[in-house]
Chains A and B, each alone.
Chain A
Amino acid sequence: MPDTEAPEAAAKLVCRSVWKFFGPDAERLGKAADAGTLRSDQLAGATAVAAVRDVSLSIREGECFVIMGLSGSGKSTLVRCMSRLVEPSAGEILFDGENLLAASDRRMIEIRRRHMGMVFQNFALLPHLTVLGNVAFPLEVQGVARARREARAMEMIGLVGLSGREHFFPRELSGGQQQRVGIARSLAVEPDLWFLDEPFSALDPLIRREMQDEFMRLQSVLKKTIVFITHDFDEAIRLGDRIAIMKDGAVVQVGTPEEIVLAPATDYVSEFTRNVTRAKVVKVAALSSPADGTTGGDTVGEVSDRATIAEAAPLFGQAGTRLLVKDRDGSIVGVLERERVSAMMMQG
């Protein structure tokens, strides 16, 4: 599915027709896919499994791009293709315009050291190192002097709120704390591109919520380009600027949480959106009507066009019927009618 709305110049990472096959036929199928001669009957008869099928995506600078799919949908393989932890069978991966698949091993090491960070589902902390050692590890690998790397690591440990525990071993920490270490470690090198592979899936629901808040706080400070993998649709719409939904290795829909909730592309997607409270996802901009210049007596206030409907609703008060909608610059771009809000809230 080509992602036409983003001009590729602004894109941080672009996947073009990426395929990944596993199994004995993998190489032959990969060649066919690259040459564009892969036919569906060829796929059906092959002994190889296509874990990623013809995925084209472009991830923009500074956005949080969530890849959501159930287990076995190929999302973890896809994210590993993006950093070439898994070698894609066919396609192109462009990172800042550079084709990663053509990069030498040495260049890949360089890119991973300087420009990428990754957080893992089961934390992947090294058991023999303390919190400080784990966080400083990526810098140690690069050969950064001890004093400098430990200073930087302490800063990161402070950022994730673990100051005072830097000499603990991972085993001595709770799951949530361990993942904070994982996050601090992945940020130690100041990556341009931040991969999070189901970072909160191994945590208890309460801790997960807390970590999501923490993550949003971090992102509001850091403004990284993020690829976030999850199997939890609620987490996806909560955290994502844009979401790609995967099924059987292919991307079935890409869009903002709003677009996906309001216009699911397939039945499969609507299975996920069915139970979502629309008012919490849909933004004011989507429901507002053009401003007609009148500021009638029943206009009771103003609202940002980026607020959700659920956030806007209390502003109406007991009797108000319309709110003025303002954009980022503060100019009035439309009005929000009470009936449309209550209609949406009624739908749940």
Chain B
Amino acid sequence: MAALGPAQTARTGWPGAPSLGLLVWCVALVVFALLWAYAGTLAPWAQEWPRAWTPRVAATISTFMRWLVDEASFGLFTFIEFTRFLSAMVEAPYRFVLSILSTGFLSGQGSQAVQIAPPVSWAGVIGVFVIAAHAAGGRKLALLAVVCLGFILLFGQWASAMVTLASIVVAVPIGAVGGLLLGIAAVRWRGFERAISPVLDLMQTIPIFAYLVPILFLFGFGPVAAILATIIYAMPPMTRIAIVALRGVAPEIRDLGRMTGCTRRQMTWRVMVPAAMPGLMVGVNQVIMLSLNMVIIASMIGAGGLGFDVLSALRRLDFGAGLEAGVAIVALAVLLDRTSQAFARRTVQRAHADGAGILARHPHLAAGTAVLVASFLAGLVAPPLARWPQAWELSTGTFWSELVRWINVNFFDELEAVKNALLLNVLIPFKRFLLGLPWLGVALLGGVAGWALSGFRLAALVVVLSTLIAVSGLWDQAMTTIYLCGISVVFALMIGVPIGVWSADRPAVWRVVQGVIDTLQTLPSFVYLMPVVMLFRVGDFTAMIAIVAYALAPAIRYTAHGLQQVDPRLIEAGRAAGCTPFQLLVKIRLKLALPEIMLGVNQTIMLALSMLVITALVGTRDLGQEVYIALTKADTGRGIVAGLAVAFIAIIADRLISAGAARARARLGLSAEGGGR
């Protein structure tokens, strides 16, 4: 496999021989320095890939897409007929659910439409949710349902929330079942798994915007395209989880299926899927959460609802309105998350029921039906029960907007001073430095790092991917991306790691911190942007603050987790040896928590990269901007190429850090396999 890297050299141990790793690093640094100093004059192609040599990948992809839409045909039907078929498949259930939740069943078109049946009233929806929550998780969860939906209702977000809910109700089952089917196929056919595994990798690292472009191109602008984008976004993790869950079914259970003479189909649906259900439910929960993540981004290609409210508030810079719609998304997310988790737990811990009769056996189902009927009838008698009167709605939007305005008026100079100082002394010099580097040198150093951490395979991967970025002609944008992302990650770690260390062994503090970072992570990323833009206006600094705020959570979480997982016996041993608390932290706990913290760094980078594309809205000049421009121009090729470049950066960072973490783990003896693979 991988040829000799330092990991192996160290193990085989040649006493006296000069370390191969050190030698390689020296050579690489010298070459890098030479390139940096002289490439600009002697070999300009090594400094910057010549524009003339850049292959016209983007244009080719765009032409191909146009060909697909205009001419491609499978014989029986054309490609565009196929995409129309797909959208019809999604549109029909969406229209149906939307009618139930929001518009009611209509007859006729446009303004002449007549409502045949009204939608389920707010009282009915809340009633059903409360009963479902009670069935899944008892009184506490039912109370949570009341609070979450009550907030949405009181703050006048009901209509939008129901539109959002309708698209989630459609997207989640399709995404979950699709992911499950892909997972089953991958488990059954090794070849299929080998084929989709890199695609899944790519799908999870490529920014969402990048595939919004082709979807927009193929399916047009509207809720159907948005739902399709949501499904595509949520399906890879479900597939992953399904593969893991199905593989994790005890071999004995598999043997049982075969011994009882199950056919393949029986094996899958009667044995494997039910036995893997607890794991699969985790996947369904993931699909729900990811669908909610997509709500705002999907509104860029035509989803209405809460996402659209946040997006338009962002465009108007109306922080108050955006915050309320954003919090409504959080409320919906919390409710769906907790309820689905409770249902997952319940399917695992079901107890036997002795009662007879449908009513006795399904009390919640009966109650739900009763509530629906009752709310429908009540709505006919008392209109406020069908539609919450506008006069009863609350809003704190103006308060938040005023608060930001007040800060702006009173602290403008101070804020401006901080911003300028950081920009002039840190951000701009670092950006200049990165942009001045020759691409060949960077690729080379990355390769050597890959070799040192893992072996030739990783080195080759790093060199090839960075060369591809250079060849695509997006090197400068890629470097800007790395600069913004890098500096944000450094800030996020500088803030996050100390907080993690501080709260790790203080349970009371940890509970508070955990609550805060949980909320930060469910809060749609756009919401961060608004106040920052209002305080600091558009630009790199604003982007950085938003990214830091978004990427802070994993830095804190993984640090605290890592520290909490350190074997208490080792801490005891340290204390027995007379360590001061500081020595204990630095010499034992942090050292042992290092692999976990590195995973946190990895996550921080991934989140920063995903946020980066969103900050393109506030005018950065990186790959995210490139993708965003492509989206607004519906330029498929450009969007895909830039999206792939972001994915490449993510893959390089992920692989290098994972290899580092694996080595650290191996050195600490925390895992069986060595770091050299």
Q: Which residues of B contact A109 (CB under 8 A)?
A: 261-263
B354 at interface by CB-CB < 8 Å: yes
Chain A, residues 237-270, CB within 8 Å of chain B (1/0): the string is 0000000000000000000000000000000000
Partner of B352, one of A126, A127, A172: A172
Chain B, residues 155-196, CB within 8 Å of chain A (1/0): the string is 000000000000000000000000000000000000000000
Question: Chain B nearest CB: distance from A145 CB in Å?
Answer: 17
A58 at interface by CB-CB < 8 Å: no
Chain B, residues 237-269, CB within 8 Å of chain A (1/0): the string is 000000000000010110110111111001000
Q: Which residues of A contact B250 (CB under 8 A)?
A: 122, 124
Question: Chain A nearest CB: distance from B278 CB in Å?
Answer: 8
Do B352 and A142 have beta carbons less than 8 Å apart?
Answer: no
Do A85 and B277 have beta carbons less than 8 Å apart?
Answer: no
Do B262 and A141 have beta carbons less than 8 Å apart?
Answer: yes
A228 at interface by CB-CB < 8 Å: no
Chain A, residues 105-138, CB within 8 Å of chain B (1/0): the string is 0000111111011101111101111100000011
Question: Chain A nearest CB: distance from B189 CB in Å?
Answer: 16
B347 at interface by CB-CB < 8 Å: yes
Question: A126-B271, A126-B275, A127-B348 known; A121 and B261 CB under 8 Å?
Answer: no
Question: Chain B nearest CB: distance from A205 CB in Å?
Answer: 22
Chain A, residues 156-174, CB within 8 Å of chain B (1/0): the string is 0000000000011101100
A225 at interface by CB-CB < 8 Å: no
Q: Which residues of B contact A80 (CB under 8 A)?
A: 255
Instruction: Identify the interface centre among B250, B255, B259, B348: most chain A CB within 10 Å of its CB.
Output: B259
Do A137 and B275 have beta carbons less than 8 Å apart?
Answer: no
B274 at interface by CB-CB < 8 Å: yes
**Residue of chain B at shortest CB distance from A167:** B352
Q: Which residues of B contact A273 (CB under 8 A)?
A: none
Assembled-state Cα–Cα distance A80/B263 (Å): 18
State which size class the interface on A falls in. 20 to 34
Do A141 and B252 have beta carbons less than 8 Å apart?
Answer: no
Q: Which residues of A contact B263 (CB under 8 A)?
A: 109
Q: Which residues of B contact A126 (CB under 8 A)?
A: 253, 256, 271, 274-275
Instruction: Identify the interface centre among B258, B261, B266: most chain A CB within 10 Å of its CB.
Output: B261
Partner of A169, one of B262, B271, B351: B351
Do A172 and B259 have beta carbons less than 8 Å apart?
Answer: no
B349 at interface by CB-CB < 8 Å: yes
A-B contact count (CB 8 A): 73
Q: Which residues of B contact A130 (CB under 8 A)?
A: 352
Assembled-state Cα–Cα distance A113/B261 (Å): 5
Assembled-state Cα–Cα distance A117/B274 (Å): 22
Do A128 and B347 have beta carbons less than 8 Å apart?
Answer: yes
A83 at interface by CB-CB < 8 Å: yes
B506 at interface by CB-CB < 8 Å: no
B575 at interface by CB-CB < 8 Å: no
Question: A120-B252, A124-B250, A127-B275 known; A138 and B350 CB under 8 Å?
Answer: no
* Contact residues of B between 347 and 383, Cβ < 8 Å to A: 347-354
Question: Chain B nearest CB: distance from A116 CB in Å?
Answer: 6
Q: Which residues of A contact B255 (CB under 8 A)?
A: 80, 85, 118, 120, 124
Q: Which residues of B contact A113 (CB under 8 A)?
A: 260-261
Instruction: Identify the interface centre among A80, A126, A140, A172: most chain B CB within 10 Å of its CB.
Output: A126
Instruction: Identify the interface centre among A83, A109, A111: most chain B CB within 10 Å of its CB.
Output: A109
B316 at interface by CB-CB < 8 Å: no
**Residue of chain B at shortest CB distance from A123:** B252
Question: Chain B nearest CB: distance from A51 CB in Å?
Answer: 15
B270 at interface by CB-CB < 8 Å: yes
Assembled-state Cα–Cα distance A127/B352 (Å): 12
Q: Which residues of A contact B262 (CB under 8 A)?
A: 109, 141
Do A124 and B256 have beta carbons less than 8 Å apart?
Answer: yes
Question: Chain B nearest CB: distance from A322 CB in Å?
Answer: 51
Assembled-state Cα–Cα distance A189/B260 (Å): 9
12 A-B residue pairings within 8 Å (CB atoms)? A85-B255, A112-B261, A116-B259, A118-B255, A118-B259, A120-B256, A126-B256, A126-B271, A127-B274, A141-B261, A168-B352, A169-B351
Interface residues of B (CB under 8 A from A): 250, 252-253, 255-256, 258-263, 266, 270-271, 274-275, 277, 347-354
Known: A113-B260, A120-B256. 17 other contacts (CB 8 A): A112-B261, A117-B259, A118-B256, A120-B252, A123-B252, A124-B253, A126-B271, A126-B274, A127-B275, A128-B350, A129-B274, A138-B260, A141-B270, A167-B352, A167-B354, A172-B351, A189-B260
